[in-house]
Amino acid sequence: MTTIDVTSGLVSGARILPSPNCDARPSGCQPELIVVHSISLPPGDFGGPWIDRFFTNRLDPEAHPYFREISALQVSAHLLIRRDGEVVQYVPLTMRAWHAGESCHDGRSCCNDFSVGIELEGLDDLPYEGVQYERLAQLVQLLRTSFASLRDAPVVGHSDIAPERKTDPGPAFDWARLQDLLNAVV
């Protein structure tokens, strides 16, 4: 990951796997917020094909009992950082990914309209890998230097914008560690 093409919204070095679960941002809306999420499918399992399949509407509801609950959902994120540091891009940064759901930040609802969603492969209560923090810090810096609207963008958890519904990235996420990495890059 070294650059972002601001025209296409693609991150160089990311594995691109287009998700249909996105659309155009509303007229005049630019990304101004970075939202950190966590995901593992099935919960607690890492490294399999299930997140890719979930975000591309190809999750087999019969492959695991939990999948029956979620297979009909149409969700996505802009980016995923796997436990081994691989970055996967599902939605161009110029588009609206369907990651936040019902949400609010600083009095503005519909955070999908004005945010970038970054998933970390993990669980709320399991420490994230060092390489995930490194990649996340790199992505945040790239976003802030590539898009004027993100220059001073806050980085928040899904739990911060949807506290009644969501807990991710959870208590295991080390916000101070991320901030230290961001400060070191500046």
Name the catalytic one among 32, 119, 121, 129. 119
Stretches where the chain sits below pLDDT 70 are 1, 186
Span 104-150, pLDDT tens digits: 999 999 999 999 999 999 999 999 999 999 999 999 999 999 999 99
**Secondary structure (3-state) at 11:** strand
Q: Is 3.30.565.10 the CATH classification of the domain at 4-185? A: no
Contact 161, 37 (CB under 8 A): no
Pick from 62, 183, 83: nearest CA to 130: 83
pLDDT attached to residue 59 = 97
pLDDT attached to residue 2 = 79
**Amino acid sitting at position 23:** D
Active site residue 119: yes
Q: Tell me the domain boundaries of the chain.
A: 4-185
pLDDT attached to residue 1 = 62
pLDDT attached to residue 186 = 57
pTM above 0.95, yes or no: yes
The answer, yes or no, to whether the previous bond of 169 is cis (omega within 30 of 0) is yes
